[in-house]
Amino acid sequence: MKPGTNDAPWTVAIIGSFRQYYEQTVSAALKFESALISVLTPPISRITNPGADFVRFETDAFNSSDHQIQAVTLTRILSADFVYVVAPGGYIGRTTSYELGRVHAEGIPVYYSERPEDLPIPVSDEQVATVDELTRLLGNRRLSGTLLGPELS
């Protein structure tokens, strides 16, 4: 838990290609939640437009544009304590690349399920971890209230 926050849990935003890897994303979200890490995004909901470039969930406002949904999502991502990228085979996709640029600019710690391909920012070996490995690391950090950053210092 974070110090000075009345035992508030860590928060995570999970990003990646939901169109291709939503099942893996849901699995990661459930593991984080079982470790008492609050998942801010994505919702655990049914995808309503399979095959579309921009994924829409059953929980998304029907009359919202893709841009409006992305803006709300980005706000949630940027308010997380850390970001976890589901990247099977290293694939992240265009929207995830954009989100990572914003996350990187804000200095939010980022971790990856697998080393990303074609991403022009440094990724240390310590940033590549399974959800189980990461929750163990974070569990060890709860007492001090620190979160490992991109440089894991």
Note the pLDDT tens digit of each residue in 16-35.
Answer: 998 889 899 999 999 999 99
For 73, the domain range is 11-141
Domain membership of residue 50 (yes or no) is: yes
pTM for the model: 0.86
Q: pLDDT, tens digit, for every residue of 36-80?
A: 999 999 988 888 888 888 888 988 888 999 899 999 999 999 999
Domain membership of residue 150 (yes or no) is: no
Q: pLDDT, tens digit, for every residue of 117-136?
A: 988 888 999 999 999 999 98
Would you say 81 and 12 are in contact if contact means Cβ atoms under 8 Å apart? Answer: yes
CATH of residue 101: 3.40.50.450
**How far is residue 13's CA from residue 19's CA, in Å, rounded to a whole number?**
17
Domain membership of residue 18 (yes or no) is: yes
Domain membership of residue 6 (yes or no) is: no
Question: Torsion angle of alpha carbons 55, 51, 38, 33, nearest 10°?
Answer: 160
Structural domains in the chain (count):
1
Q: pLDDT, tens digit, for every residue of 89-121?
A: 999 989 999 999 999 999 999 999 999 998 888
Domain membership of residue 97 (yes or no) is: yes
